[in-house]
Amino acid sequence: MMLTGEWSLPVAAVAVLVLTPAAAAIISLFKNSNLYTDVRGGTPRGAGIVPWAALSIFTPPPFNVPLAVMGALAFIDDLAGRRRIMNLSIEWGQLSRGLGILAVALITYPFMGAWGLLAALMVQPLNIADMQPGVACTVTVIMSLLALPAAVMTGSGIHLALLIMVVALAYSPLDYRGKIMMGEVGNHSFAVALGLLFYISGGPWLLLALFLLTPLVTAILRRGNLSEFLEKRLKIENPTLGDLYMDVMTGGGLGDLLRRILMGRRAFRIRNPFLISLGFRRLLFNPHASHVSRGEL
């Protein structure tokens, strides 16, 4: 059932505002599951199932379908956690996320062509944004606001932009306080919704421009945490904005899996100041690298 009338915005806002705490309370009953984490003394993870449901119901067809599919597969990621598939080097979560990206690309191909893949890849920056309380909500609202002028100028309508903002704001109070986590189901749903919004509002070139801008906004909002992570965990000294950007664009489990496939055990030491400023130290940081196999740039 899809509800997209004039009253859909306030209905979506009230529903998300009321159901998010209820979902958090239900998830908290399952403290031994992957939907509950010990972070910050115990936090329900996967509360993003509420915005996923709201966006799936109130987004106009056919755009609601890829959004709903991505959210469903992302929820499998939340449920499975970091468990590996038998003796393989890939995790169930990585598989479900990859299938979600492929599904969105295939479902959107009839009306977006190959650009649907770019909309699906918005899951990367939103996933990194969601690692700090409130940031994914802020990024979602900012990027929706940036799409609004284009939507007005092209006459594509502002309903989807307003819907995404309303849902994000209604969900956000507990997230900003660190009391809940979206989980993959939430940040992946907002990610695909934003990708679709960018395309609807201004076509492929607006999608490309805002796709490239989203990691920058995320990197700026998370600069303190990301800098500390890069310095302490990855031993990247004095990380540049480029390093932060590349961490948002290529970090996380999916990025590391691609590095393993493309780079094998090879590592690179970046010394060129220009490449350092562009973030190549983070881009080419390979957690699977052997100290024996090193290149230099």
Query: Rounded to two decimals, what is the model's pTM?
Result: 0.92
- Lowest mean pLDDT of 4-8, 54-58, 100-104, 291-295, name the range: 291-295
- Dihedral of the alpha carbons of 102, 106, 109, 113, in degrees to the nearest 10: 40
**Residue 253 pLDDT more than 80?**
no
Q: 98 and 254 in contact (C-beta within 8 Å)? A: yes
**Nearest one of 240, 222, 221, 219 to 231, comparing CA atoms:** 240
Residue holding tokens 């899996």?
257
The domain segmentation of the chain, as residue ranges, is: 8-203, 226-296
pLDDT at 291: 55
With a CB cutoff of 8 Å and minimum separation 6, the contacts of 250 are 124, 258, 259, 282, 283
Q: How many CA atoms lie within 13 A of 153 on its CB side?
A: 9
- From the list 131, 114, 123, 24, the residue with the least C-alpha distance to 70 is 123
Task: Note the pLDDT tens digit of each residue in 176-197.
Answer: 999 999 999 999 999 999 999 9
Checking if the pLDDT of 19 tops 50, the result is: yes
pLDDT tens profile 21-42? 999 999 999 998 889 988 888 8
For position 82, what pLDDT does the model report? Answer: 67
pLDDT of 66 above 90:
yes
